Chains A and B, each alone.
Chain A
Amino acid sequence: MAELKFRNDLIGGSAGIPGGPPRECCPGSAGKKPDFVIGTIMTASGPVEKVSTRLSSSDYLGHIRCRTTAFRNNYTIPPGIYAAGQPGEDSDILVSSNYKLSFDALRKELEGLNVWILVLDTRGINVWCAAGKGTFGTEELLRRISSTGIEHIVSHRRLIVPQLGAPGVSAYKVKRASGFTVCFGPVRARDLKEFIARGYRATDMMRTVSFPIYDRLVLTPMEIVPAMKNYPVYVLIVLVISGLHPDGILFRDAIAGGIPLLLLGLVAILAGAFITPLLLPYIPSRSFAVKGWIAGIFFVFPLVRFTWPDGGQDPILLGFSCLFFPMVSSYVALQFTGSTTFTGMSGVKKELRTAVPVYIVSGVISLVLLIIHKIAGWGPL
């Protein structure tokens, strides 16, 4: 490998260019180096932080918290230039987002490479979603190229942008405005080494987004958590309705009548938020609303008769359960369209045009059934 040197002849000319990653994001991180920084490299545009290509246990802990809680809303790193290995003037520039989960996914694949990483300010959003919003986009890339002075650090004019940045980054516009040629890299960071080794050519596989079971599984906690947010309200309503009696609220009725409904509600949510994403390719229909409904029926129906102490004798209550709970699963499953790699807006709109009226009508019928059940249960007043 060629000895990589800096163009010292440019240093004098670039004295006024601000160096290092700008620190406009990330309150709280000012002054304290993130623990993935393992050194500093002096360049023509100032010092550049060198990052580790190994993830630490605190990185992994952060990733778990991102996958499960709102912790991810502030999981950012300062935008700017970073170095992996010992890059020089001929080294590639990889463009990434400032969501630390994405940045980590990139840097852990860079062991043995000498590259620059240009991190855009995407407000802590991953590359693909940020590209959709435009924050990982042409303008931000051009801004970051000039604010970092990266053109003084390298002698070439090439950028490797992840392919999923293409909805935001327009290669021909970047070329026109900055002279940098955008080369779209593979979809997944783990293919980067092979992509570079092949002379910056991606195979069809590297260019295609898939959605395997593991990728779906890691998304399910953030389906379950929001769906469960309204569960306490549901618990309260169910207990009050179940216990409601002309003489007041009976605690024993609230528990006896309420628990089956609470249990079925929980099963319905899990069918929509966990089972449907997990078994996505195997559940019939392309519509997420129908998939969720099928999953709901599959899990709710066998349980309905077992959840009541009397074996579910009341046909009205059975009717309510078989109508209401699969609808809950369907609604929850429909939310997963926002997390997949293959659903588009026109399709989701089409689903909603049918699903929303169906949800409203079955919600009203469910309520009526519940009221009838309740009044019938009180007997003649």
Chain B
Amino acid sequence: MGSTLKYLTGVSSLVLDPEKCTGCGVCMTVCPHKVFTRMEKKVTVTDRDLCMECSACVNNCAFGALTVDRGVGCAAALINSMINGGEPSCDCSGGPDKASCC
């Protein structure tokens, strides 16, 4: 038990710009997968392969030091958008008011 589940390696689009990082550490607080650690006065990415691209860090970095391709990591949503066009979304069961799924 307790084994950390990891997804594919070398795919995460997370980028941290050390020039812009002030070391405030908010990314370390919001990251649900311990992707970041503090190195001296800055934050670094320890294990990019743990990143699930949820964009919590990007959304909370006041200095614009982080970027990631944000989107739904759901095969059904991506296949739907391949077939029907449009952005992948979680709205499997119809219109925007019927948003369901995850």
Residues of A at the B interface (CB closer than 8 Å) are: 70, 72-73, 123-126, 128-129, 131-133, 163-164, 166-172, 184, 187, 202, 204, 207-213, 226, 280-281, 286-288, 334-335, 337-352, 356
Given A338-B76, A345-B78, A346-B53, A166 contacting B8 (CB threshold 8 A)? no
- With an 8 Å Cβ cutoff, the count of chain B residues facing the other chain is 52
Cross-chain contact A280 with B5 (CB below 8 angstroms): yes
Interface-central residue, B1, B51, B56, B93, by most chain A CB under 10 Å? B56
Interface string of B59-90 (1 = CB under 8 A from A): 11010000001111111111100100000111
CA of A126 to CA of B52 in the docked complex: distance in angstroms?
18
Cross-chain contact B100 with A166 (CB below 8 angstroms): no
Starting from the known contacts A172-B62, A335-B75, A346-B11, 11 additional A-B residue pairs (CB-CB under 8 Å) come to A124-B99, A128-B54, A163-B56, A168-B59, A170-B59, A286-B8, A338-B77, A342-B52, A345-B53, A345-B88, A348-B75
Which residues of the other chain, B, contact A342 by a CB distance below 8 angstroms? 5-7, 33, 50, 52
Given A209-B32, A210-B2, A346-B53, A352 contacting B79 (CB threshold 8 A)? yes
CA of A172 to CA of B62 in the docked complex: distance in angstroms?
6
Cross-chain contact A352 with B78 (CB below 8 angstroms): yes
Which residues of the other chain, A, contact B5 by a CB distance below 8 angstroms? 211, 280-281, 340-342
Given A210-B2, A345-B78, A287 contacting B8 (CB threshold 8 A)? yes
B41 within 8 A of A: no
CA of A99 to CA of B5 in the docked complex: distance in angstroms?
27
Cross-chain contact B72 with A338 (CB below 8 angstroms): yes
Which residues of the other chain, B, contact A280 by a CB distance below 8 angstroms? 5
B46 within 8 A of A: no
Interface-central residue, A123, A167, A211, by most chain B CB under 10 Å? A167
Given A170-B60, A286-B7, A70 contacting B93 (CB threshold 8 A)? yes
Which residues of the other chain, B, contact A349 by a CB distance below 8 angstroms? 78
Cross-chain contact A73 with B98 (CB below 8 angstroms): yes
Pick the contact of B8: A133, A167, A347 (CB < 8 A): A347
Cross-chain contact A344 with B76 (CB below 8 angstroms): no
